[in-house]
Amino acid sequence: GLNLVRTIVQAHGGRVSVESKVGQGSAFTLHLPALTEPLIQPRVVAVTASN
CA–CA separation, 2 and 20 (whole Å): 15
Residue-range domain boundaries for the chain? 2-31
Give pLDDT, residue 51.
Answer: 67
Provide the whole-model pTM. 0.59
What distance lies between CA 34 and its chain's CA centroid? Answer: 9
pLDDT tens across 8-35, in order? 999 999 999 999 999 999 999 999 998 8
**Helix (H) or strand (E) segment spanning residue 5:** helix 2-11
Enumerate long-range contacts of 4-13, CB under 8 Å, 24 or more apart: 5/30
2 CB-side CA count, 13 A? 7
